Copies of this chain bind each other. A is one copy, B any other.
């Protein structure tokens, strides 16, 4: 989890937007538990617990909602508006 500052929510497409959502979800964990060592201990536990995986997926879904809105859902306008 690199600690690059977050400069923009704009991405080229939904795929990159999803990747950013994952980063934002991890960032929240990293801020609450800054020790990478402890996080590494926890990882094999929660990544084998279905409920933890679903909960992690939920945090991603909320961030993806934000990022999708920021990108106007990556909609391209119909031709007659251009």
Using a CB–CB distance below 8 Å, which chain A residues touch chain B? 5-10, 13-15, 18, 22, 24-29, 31-33, 38, 42-43, 45-66, 68-70, 73-75
Contact = CB atoms under 8 A, between A and B. Distances in A.
A46 to B, nearest CB: 4
A7 B15 contact: yes
Contact of A28 (B32, B42, B57): B57
B24 A64 contact: yes
Given A25-B57, A59-B61, 18 more contacts: A5-B13, A5-B15, A6-B14, A7-B13, A9-B74, A10-B73, A18-B24, A26-B57, A28-B57, A33-B48, A38-B48, A45-B50, A52-B54, A54-B55, A55-B55, A55-B58, A61-B63, A64-B66
